[in-house]
């Protein structure tokens, strides 16, 4: 009787499985079980069994992912000629599983394809076996990763399998990491692999994608690759990993910040990394403040930079935005950065913005984008309301102001937030123009709820 902890010959062969190439002529212990199943012998042609990739030339048997009926993969009645490569592999494995299940009803127990390859229920000569499905697919993982159905099957193996299952998949996809990251289907497998792999494997992936200058940035700009890079940022833990990733992203900050895909990578860094690790983001955000603030995607990144920054980094960002607040206020995207500063209700930051806007409230109120900022100033800056209202009512043609498509909303906001004598003074200026109450832009101003307060 074999003692606990000792490996039999078959188990010793299994431990060497991962080191063998798919094309190696060495026979492993799985062939013993493989020959037990009816129809799986080499002399039988009624069933299909996967062979080593070296036995086939994929380029000659497959064209555009479709099987060539004249190849050795010629299907039986259970196989559809229209199936893709990965579908055919999975179809044949399903046949194998049915045979295994039928055989197990009358013979020794076998592994369930959805169980871990290190099952606690199968010890002795059956222990420490590689997942049968994964064993049969060795050599085809890379091809399956680029197929919709194959990729999903590999993800299920990673979810339900053990660390050895993950290692088998890892060893086969690691030479193709960059290609799979930007692949429409392979990127999902890479995301799942980053979730389950150990720190050493994760570091290996990081070393590959950061080995070439600009490579990680190009992946992050890709619509599929950006998802993997975001997941990578979420998963990095060690100082070495963080240093490698941030150092690779820094040269491309400007391009990432204004890119529809890349901006999400910068935002994920702000969310997942500590302030010190994001120092390069705050520095470059200050440096490229105007370019980023006036961009559709960059304005969102700039607001997040202000929100996550602290101390001197935040002061520098706010100062840079405040200095250009008059210009940004009139920009379709830049006005959001100034509004964000106002809504922070930071007294010092708000005072810097108001100092730049003082004396320009009338012209700002009559523009589409800046009128929103004036409304925010009235709503959030009680100390600035008298200044804003006095500028508005001192205009020579006040009737033009209340008929303006944008300024009329500013007047309505002033009526809503002012009180006491300031509110009464505003009403007195508006009342002489009551003949304009039917004007489509004046209806809100002359409504009873606003004028009676």
Q: Are 99 and 47 in contact (CB under 8 A)?
A: yes
Does residue 443 form part of some domain? yes
The helix-helix angle for 385-393 and 407-417 (nearest 10°) equals: 130
Please tell me the distance from the alpha carbon of residue 153 to that of residue 107, in angstroms, as a whole number. 28
Please tell me the distance from the alpha carbon of residue 343 to that of residue 425, in angstroms, as a whole number. 27
What is this structure's pTM?
Answer: 0.71
Does residue 161 form part of some domain? yes
The CA–CA distances, whole Å, from 252 to 235, 292, 299 equal 21, 13, 17
Same domain (yes/no): 211, 292: no
Give the helix ranges, DSSP H, for 358-406: 361-365, 368-380, 385-393, 398-402
Using the 3D structure, point to which of 296, 315, 347 is the last residue of a domain.
347
- Read off the pLDDT of each residue in 119-131 and give the average, rounded to a whole number: 40
pLDDT digits (tens, 9 = 90+) for 20-76: 444 443 334 334 333 433 334 333 333 333 334 334 333 333 334 443 333 333 333
Please tell me the distance from the alpha carbon of residue 329 to that of residue 339, in angstroms, as a whole number. 8
Please tell me the distance from the alpha carbon of residue 166 to that of residue 101, in angstroms, as a whole number. 25
Query: Between vectors from CA 97 to CA 112 and to CA 151, what angle results, nearest 5°?
Result: 80
Name which residue leads in pLDDT, 29 or 418.
418
- Read off the pLDDT of each residue in 334-358 and give the average, rounded to a whole number: 93
Same domain (yes/no): 254, 365: no
Same domain (yes/no): 166, 59: yes
First to last CA, the chain: 97
The 3-state secondary structure of 52-85, one letter per residue: CHHHCCHHHHEECCEECCCCCCCCCCCCCCCCEH
Does residue 14 form part of some domain? no
The pLDDT, as a whole number, for residue 439 is 84
Question: Sorting pLDDT into bands at 50, 70 and 90, what band is 345?
Answer: confident
Q: Which two tokens stand for residue 298?
A: 């960059």
Please tell me the distance from the alpha carbon of residue 406 to that of residue 204, in angstroms, as a whole number. 57
Same domain (yes/no): 50, 130: yes
Same domain (yes/no): 214, 97: no
Number of compact structural domains in the chain: 4
Same domain (yes/no): 294, 379: no
Using the 3D structure, point to which of 347, 374, 396 is the last residue of a domain.
347
The pLDDT, as a whole number, for residue 320 is 95
Flag whether pLDDT at 120 surpasses 80: no
The pLDDT, as a whole number, for residue 271 is 96
pLDDT digits (tens, 9 = 90+) for 166-186: 888 999 999 999 999 999 999
Please tell me the distance from the alpha carbon of residue 124 to that of residue 11, in angstroms, as a whole number. 9
Please report, rounded to a whole number, the percentage of residues in the chain having pLDDT higher than 70.
69
The pLDDT, as a whole number, for residue 444 is 82
Please tell me the distance from the alpha carbon of residue 157 to that of residue 137, in angstroms, as a whole number. 11
Name the β-bridge partners of 66. Answer: 63, 84
Does residue 21 form part of some domain? no
pLDDT digits (tens, 9 = 90+) for 245-286: 999 999 999 999 999 999 999 999 999 999 999 999 999 999
Residue range(s) defining the domain that contains residue 76: 39-196
pLDDT digits (tens, 9 = 90+) for 363-407: 999 999 999 999 999 999 999 999 999 999 998 888 899 899 999
Same domain (yes/no): 183, 50: yes
- CA-derived radius of gyration, the chain: 34
Please tell me the distance from the alpha carbon of residue 22 to that of residue 2, in angstroms, as a whole number. 31
Does residue 15 form part of some domain? no
Same domain (yes/no): 83, 187: yes
């Amino acid at each position: 009787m074999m003692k606990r902890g000792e490996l039999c010959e078959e188990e010793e062969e299994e431990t060497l499985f991962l080191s063998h190439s798919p094309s190696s002529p060495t026979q492993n212990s799985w062939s013993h079980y493989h020959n037990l199943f009816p129809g799986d012998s080499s002399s039988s042609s009624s069933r299909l069994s996967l062979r080593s990739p070296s036995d086939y030339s994929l380029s000659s048997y497959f064209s555009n992912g479709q099987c060539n009926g004249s190849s050795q993969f010629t299907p039986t009645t259970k196989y559809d000629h229209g199936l893709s490569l990965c579908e055919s592999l999975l179809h044949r494995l399903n046949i194998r599983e049915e045979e295994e299940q039928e055989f197990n009803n009358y013979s020794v127990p076998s592994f369930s394809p959805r169980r871990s390859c290190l099952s606690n229920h199968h010890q002795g000569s059956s222990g420490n076996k590689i997942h049968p499905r994964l064993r049969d697919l060795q050599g085809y993982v890379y091809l399956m990763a680029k197929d919709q159905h194959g990729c999903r099957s590999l993800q299920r193996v990673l979810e339900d399998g053990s660390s050895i299952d993950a290692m088998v998949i890892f060893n086969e996809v690691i030479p193709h990491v960059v290609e799979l990251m930007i692949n429409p289907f392979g990127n999902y497998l890479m995301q799942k692999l980053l979730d389950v792999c150990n720190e050493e494997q994760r570091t290996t992936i990081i070393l590959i994608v950061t080995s070439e200058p600009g490579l990680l940035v190009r992946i992050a700009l890709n619509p599929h690759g950006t998802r993997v890079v975001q997941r990578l940022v979420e998963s990095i833990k060690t100082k070495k990993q963080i240093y490698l990733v941030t150092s690779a992203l820094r040269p491309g900050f400007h391009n990432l910040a204004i890119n529809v895909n890349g901006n999400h990578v910068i935002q994920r860094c702000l969310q997942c990394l500590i302030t010190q690790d994001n120092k390069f983001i705050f520095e470059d955000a200050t440096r490229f403040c105007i370019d980023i603030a006036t961009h559709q995607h960059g304005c969102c990144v700039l607001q997040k930079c202000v929100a996550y920054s602290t101390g001197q980094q935040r002061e520098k960002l706010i100062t840079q935005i405040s200095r250009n607040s008059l210009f940004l206020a009139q920009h379709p995207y830049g006005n959001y950065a100034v509004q964000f500063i106002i809504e922070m209700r930071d007294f010092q930051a708000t005072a810097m913005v108001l100092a730049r806007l003082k004396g320009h409230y009338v012209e700002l109120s009559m523009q589409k984008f800046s009128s929103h900022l004036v409304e925010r100033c009235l709503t959030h800056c009680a100390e600035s309301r008298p200044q804003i209202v006095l500028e508005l009512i001192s205009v020579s043609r006040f009737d033009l102001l209340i008929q303006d498509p944008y300024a009329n909303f500013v007047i309505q906001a002033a009526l809503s937030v002012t009180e006491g004598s300031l509110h009464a003074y505003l009403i007195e200026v508006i009342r002489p123009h009551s003949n304009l109450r039917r004007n489509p832009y004046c209806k809100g101003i002359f409504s009873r709820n606003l004028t009676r307060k």
